[in-house]
Amino acid sequence: MGATLAAQPQPPQAGGSIAQEPAFESRGIDYIPLAERRGKPTDLAWMWAGALFNVEYVTYGAILIVGFGLRFWQAAIVILVGNLSYVIAGLGSLQGPKAGTAAFTINRAPFGPHGARIVAVFNWVTQVGYEILGLAIVVAAGLALFEKAGVHSSTALKVGLIVAAACVQLLLPLFGHGTMLRVLRVLVIPFVILFVLLAALTLGKAHLGAGHNATWAQMMAGLAFVLSAGGYGWPMNANDFSRYLPRDSSERAIVWSVALGGFIPTTLLLLLGAAVGTRFPGASGATTITQAFAGWFAWPFLICAILQVFAINSLDLYTSGLTLQAIIPRIKRWQCVLIDTVIAAALTAWTVFDQSFDTFVSDFVLFMLIWIAPWVAIYLVDYFLRRGRYSSAALQATSHGIYFRSGGFHLPGLIAQGIGMLAAASWLNAYPAWISPLSNATGGADFSLFMGALFGGGIYYLLARRSVPAEGDAAAAEPSLDAALAGD
């Protein structure tokens, strides 16, 4: 009997650091075997910090002042409260180590393989949209550098910068997970140094008491903006990076690593942006930052800002590639990265040649809340209902398995998502593009995120509270996919 047991294939064990990951990632949305799991939860803290110590958030902070009309103290409250949502991003990182795959493959559990594709389309559009925002900032910074060098803006220069930025942006996502985590960690120190210098040069010129108090409705709209651009807007990406962690990684350590890695840089940068915005209340959020200083610092700031935007855009491009693969599984991850790069570059040209960048930023971020608000809640409720027990084999299947249910659709998830989106849209204030009837009736208040999450997550719980725990039991009883791989 002892010899028989010894002959049984045993699943390999995880271990090692992220430095042992290959430079080029060959996997996409397929299952990550335990033998290939590397790293520890704190690696996620460094990764998020490296991506989010970013001038993009300084711009968002300025938009709270120049776009939403908040005074600094109001913006500070909105920023501090809104960034507590990075705990949500931490909770949205727990599924990857358990399921061993990307977020929008895990998404097949609450929505079914075919239903998940519908929701994945929303995420793909969102990720590409954020890539466009980042590329537009890179182009603006590049144009400013050329202007300082005596080269005036032209159509040819803008097109050249768009193409060059798109080519540089695809490098990290093309190499993949291990390279991204290592590079983003290295970038933390120079980005912190830039923040300290920027704060020292600009805070003395801020007028923190300037302006008039905004209404509570404007504050709620600003809060929705911060939540969407911050922690509540990142669970779609989170598991794409946590999925390489060993299955038995501490859940508490994962949540706090992600939460702190996101909260600290984002809060500091948003506050700095809001402070700088008080000096130029009538300016554009995209140009306010460069107006706050002059002389020698402009060159290093703009160069470092370009690197920072490339860093945060790498998260979006990596996830958009995996999401596109979840929609069209037959194409490879690296092919998806190339496709998304071309599309983002083309749409960036439209953004750059249009003169309403701030409006585009605020409208895009707020409109994305319509689907993000219910989806995050449904995704997390599903995880806790099944107590983190997934069938890794069934998640990889698109035509059978315990998640296939009604022809590939899980009606509780789709119904909850639809009602949640309707609830979010009914409370959205994206002035002037759209003011919902309920928002208009309450003086412009924006409860889109809260209502979308409440209705989406609540209805999913009511509809799936019996069936989903049973699926978790069935998944726990299945043989380990790693054991099956070892047997092969």
pLDDT at residue 6, rounded to an integer: 43
Q: Does residue 70 sit within a domain? A: yes
- Rounded to an integer, the average pLDDT of 379-399 is 95
pLDDT at residue 3, rounded to an integer: 41
Q: 64: domain CATH number?
A: 1.10.4160.10
Contact 176/20 with Cβ under 8 angstroms? no
Spatial separation of the C-alpha atoms in residues 188 and 167, rounded to whole Å: 23
Q: Does residue 442 sit within a domain? A: no
What is the pLDDT confidence band of residue 289, given thresholds at 50, 70 and 90?
Answer: low
Spatial separation of the C-alpha atoms in residues 289 and 272, rounded to whole Å: 10
Of 188-192, 364-368, 384-388, where does mean pLDDT reach its minimum?
Answer: 364-368
Q: Does residue 22 sit within a domain? A: no
Catalogue the long-range contacts made by 191-195 (C-beta closer than 8 Å, 24 or more residues apart). Answer: 191/50, 191/53, 191/54, 191/265, 191/304, 191/308, 191/311, 192/53, 194/53, 194/300, 194/301, 194/304, 194/308, 195/53, 195/265, 195/268, 195/269, 195/272
Residue pLDDT, tens place only, 151-192: 988 989 999 999 999 999 999 999 999 999 999 999 999 899
Q: Does residue 251 sit within a domain? A: yes
The residue ranking higher by pLDDT, 453 or 437, is 453
Q: Does residue 383 sit within a domain? A: no
How many domains does the chain contain in total?
A: 1
Is the model's pLDDT at 348 over the cut of 50? yes
Q: Does residue 144 sit within a domain? A: yes
Is the model's pLDDT at 12 over the cut of 50? no
End-to-end CA distance of the chain: 22
Q: Does residue 242 sit within a domain? A: yes
% pLDDT > 90, the chain: 56
What is the pLDDT confidence band of residue 302, given thresholds at 50, 70 and 90?
Answer: confident
Residue pLDDT, tens place only, 390-400: 999 999 998 88
Q: Does residue 427 sit within a domain? A: no
Residue pLDDT, tens place only, 26-78: 899 999 999 899 899 999 999 999 999 988 898 889 889 988 889 999 999 99
Q: Which domain holds residue 356?
A: 28-372
